[in-house]
Amino acid sequence: MAVQGTFQINGHDYTQYVKQKTGFGWARENTSDSDAGRDEDDTMHTNVRSHQRKLTLKLGPMPFDVAMQLEKDLEGGDDGVRVTYADLKDGLCTRLFYNTSITAAQEQFREDGIVIDDINFTLISVKEATV
């Protein structure tokens, strides 16, 4: 069964703006407890407590008003923003993420409006569970 490629934040669909090949990066990182480390025999004990997802995105080009909506979606509250995406472990799912930063460039000034490109941002999961 094929998983559909989709990328949504807070219900807004940005799938068509994800750059091909390099536009969506996925990582799972371990969160270890305070007792993790090497023992006297140099054996590593990770003592993994949980995992976190890290998504790196490159989007564009997009109209200025869509970029404004993206910026609003990424600001989110302390509880995170709802992101629907294809996860390598869970398939198509929705998780809560927080945004670390965002950069963008104004690509073109046209008569029909400004075009924004090279939008880069990182999302880090608030918790492991899906919503």
Q: How many domains does the chain have?
A: 1
Q: What is the pLDDT of residue 45?
A: 59
The residue segments making up the domain with residue 13 are 8-125
Q: What is the DSSP string of the chain?
A: -PPPP--EETTEE-GGGBPTTTSEEEEEEEEE-TT-EE-TT--EE--EEEEEEEEEEEE--EEHHHHHHHHHHHH-BTTBEEEEEEETTTEEEEEEEEEEEEEEEEEEEETTEEEEEEEEEEEEES-SS--
The reply to whether 43 falls in a domain is yes
Do the domain assignments include residue 66?
Answer: yes
Query: Which tens digits make up the pLDDT trace of 104-117?
Result: 998 878 888 899 99
> Which CATH number belongs to the domain containing residue 12 in this structure?
2.40.30
The verdict on residue 2 lying in a domain is: no
**Residue bearing the bigger pLDDT, 36 or 58:** 58
Residue pLDDT, tens place only, 4-50:
889 999 999 999 999 998 899 998 876 655 665 566 776 665 555 56
Q: Looking at the domain assignment, is residue 1 inside a domain?
A: no
